[in-house]
A and B are shown apart, each in its own frame.
Chain A
Amino acid sequence: MNTNLNIEQLATHQEQNDPVEILRVALEHFPSSAISFSGAEDIVLIDMALRIRKDIQVFSLDTGRLHPETYRFLEEVRNHYGIQLELLSPDSRELEQLVRTKGLFSFYQDGHKECCAIRKVAPLRRKLATVDAWITGLRHDQTPVRASVPVAQEDTAFSTPEHALVKFNPLANWSSAQVWEYIRNNNVPFNELHRRGYISIGCEPCTRTTLPNQHERAGRWWWEEEALKDCGLHVATAEPSRPQPAEVA
């Protein structure tokens, strides 16, 4: 890992709007860096990175619950670009324990975090322990949660005292329109689910199509709005009383 790189400076650098430049910095300073590919429009990262270097590392989280279309797309990407796409699987013991005790659709009752922890976060953590930097397709315009995504940052989630990790988000400042313009202009293959109205693509049971201009969060875990309030410690207010006929103008 090159410790001379000033991550904060890079994050505010004027070239931050150019994903290729960010990728170039990532791949040059962190030769072991790996691209996290979700099987959606972050495909552009692979296309761009291969123009810089041929021996890039790419991995995807195979939760076991992806759409068949996504599995087909992952295979298409592997063949189209001739890359070794590493598929990361959940720990079988942890997964069997979850399914044995809670079934296959526990996320509809218990929320998605536990299932995501086992199927996505734990395998990701395992992988990230082997690299110095990773590259994601996170963008500002995807959800309010991502509004503050910088193009480069120290990864506070997965860094440990013994192992510093940097996260690059080369597409942070690109809009969805720019991503799709790149896909069209460069004949980049894309997941056929996008043609069917999926903006963001995750696991099949947890993803649905959204209306134009809806945030992609609306297409994920849509049943959870109420469940999220479940553990909040705010004083419950009485139901607002309905206006009586005399009060209605």
Chain B
Amino acid sequence: MTTHIIMVKKILADGAPCRKCGEVYERLLRDGLLQHIDRIVTADPHNPDSEGMRLAARHQVSRAPFFIVRDKGGNEHIYDSFLRLKREVLQARASTTEVALDLAERFPELDYI
């Protein structure tokens, strides 16, 4: 992997990761992709100075988790969709459920079909 990837995860008041961050971490682990994540930083909403909160503000991201991918040229790209990161950066195959989940999250109107 020639890129540098930071995962920003949110922690709740009790220090546990938010539900989505926990799920994405599990999926990275299960798919053997965790090795490609160079750093995991936490966003603590009770501490606006926490590294993750500062990164979220800088990149104007409003939901966790998200990924900051620095390419060979030093340009940063933000991925707020794990599916896109998985396919485009980690070049891994996404399961049918992952694709469907990504659609369900990006298109709320699908709730009512």
Chain A nearest CB, measured from B64 CB (Å) = 5
Q: Does B96 contact A61, Cβ atoms closer than 8 Å?
A: no
Name the contact of A91 in the complex, choosing from B65, B96, B110 (C-beta under 8 A).
B96
Given A231-B18, A235-B48, decide whether A113 and B105 contact each other with a Cβ distance below 8 A: yes
Contacts of B64 in A (CB 8 A): 231-233
- Residues 51-80 of B at the A interface (beta carbon under 8 Å): 52-53, 56, 61-65
Chain B nearest Cβ from A25, distance in angstroms: 21
Identify which of B21, B23, B61, B109 contacts A146 (C-beta below 8 A): B109
B45 to A236, Cβ gap below 8 A? yes
A38 to B111, CA, bound (A): 11
Residue of B nearest to A236 (CB): B45
A236 touches B46 (CB 8 A): yes
Residues of chain B within 8 A (CB-CB) of A61 are: 113
Proximity string of chain B (86-113) to chain A, C-beta cutoff 8 Å, 1 when within and 0 when not = 0000000001110111011111111111
Cα–Cα distance between A133 and B21 once the two chains are bound (Å)? 36
Given contacts A227-B19, A233-B43, A233-B45, contact A116 B104 (CB under 8 A): yes
Q: B residues bordering A, Cβ < 8 Å?
A: 10, 12-13, 18-21, 23, 43, 45-46, 48, 52-53, 56, 61-65, 95-97, 99-101, 103-113
Contacts A/B (CB < 8 Å), 21 sampled: A94-B97, A98-B97, A116-B104, A121-B104, A121-B110, A122-B100, A125-B100, A138-B109, A145-B112, A157-B103, A157-B106, A216-B112, A220-B112, A230-B19, A231-B18, A231-B63, A233-B10, A233-B45, A233-B56, A234-B62, A236-B45
